Every structure is written in structure tokens, then in C-alpha cells.
Amino acid sequence: MTELVFMRHGHALSRQEAGVPSDQERPLSPRGEREAFESAKLLLAAGFAPDRIISSPYLRACRTAEIAAGVFPPAARETARAISDGPAQALLDLAQGFYSGSERVLIVGHQPLIGAVAAYLLGDDPFDLSPAGFVRLKCDGAPGAATLLEFYAPPPPKDGR
């Protein structure tokens, strides 16, 4: 049985706030760093420990994956452009490549792509994943036949930051 977790990167600064020229270079905010860590710890507490962590190459997703890798040190790390650039079929092909095994994989990416692919695997409506939110699936059949194990959205910050 394969388990896939589709996690959105943590809260990120805007291009203007970060003073960076492109969307790909946007960093996580301090809030995003905390959210990513808390989400990874929640997955660990639920018994999920990935064999592999694959992220979009964009800075905010890479940093989210790096934080998760600190919680799951044995996990192999890699990036895949399909998670940032799409099309949806490319990410779907990546995810389905794990169906025949028994790996546990954490995929860190961006909305709306990861929410749509997770929903397709479930045969459901697209998920609106908030920053550092995730969908955990058990995949042991054809697309549309995955089982939802967990859907998580971090609580809004108490102080607005």
C-alpha cells in the first residue's frame, strides 16, 4: 500500500515583502516556517513517516520540504518541476508512479495543482489547501479509488502573523 501526502508550502512572503524579482524566489514567512514544522510533526504523530520527500523547486516549497526533512531525517529528498509547472497530468503521472510499491511519499507543492491532483486520485472535488495544509491518501487502486486518511488545515494565527 502506498501513502501519498500532498502538502502545500507554508505561508510565504509576497515578492514585494521579500524584495525578490520572481515568484520562484519567494521565501517562507516566520509563520510559514512554524506551520511547516507543526504540519510535519502532526504527520509524524499520526504515524506517517515518508520514505521520500519530493518538492517543487520553488524556494518556499523547497524550504517547507527541508523543514519536513528535519522531522523525517531518513527520507530521501528530491525536487520535480511537475509539482510547480504542471500540467496536472505530469504531477498525476509522478504520483501514480508510486502506486505499485509500498512507499510513503510527501509531495510539497502549490495550489491549485496539488489540491486538484489529490482530489482526482480520490474521485472527489478539488481540495482548497491552506498554507502548510495537507491531504493524506492511501492509494491501492486506480485513480478515483484512493482512500482519504487525513485532511488538515492549520488554524489561523492568533496574533494575525
Cis peptide before 87 (omega within 30 of 0): yes
Predicted local distance difference test score (pLDDT) of residue 161: 60
In order along its 161 residues, the chain shows pLDDT tens digits of 699 999 999 999 999 999 999 999 999 999 999 999 999 999 999 999 999 999 999 999 999 999 999 999 999 999 999 999 889 999 988 988 887 778 999 999 999 999 999 999 999 999 999 999 999 999 877 778 899 999 999 988 776 56
| Cβ neighbours of residue 142 closer than 8 Å, sequence gap 6 or more | none
State the fold for domain 2-152.
Rossmann fold (3.40.50)
Q: How far apart are CA 28 and CA 42, in angstroms?
A: 19
Of 96, 80, 109, nearest to 137 by C-alpha is 96
Query: Sheet holding 76-79: strands in order across?
Result: 76-79, 52-55, 104-109, 2-8, 134-139, 147-152
Kindly list the domain boundaries of the chain, sorted by start residue. 2-152
Instruction: Quick: pLDDT tens for 100-128.
Output: 778 999 999 999 999 999 999 999 999 99
Give residue for cell 496539488: 114
Q: Confirm if 93 and 82 have CB atoms less than 8 A apart.
A: yes
Strand residues in 9-146 grouped as ranges (E): 52-55, 76-79, 104-109, 134-139
Spatial distance between the Cα atoms of 119 and 135, rounded to a whole number of angstroms: 9
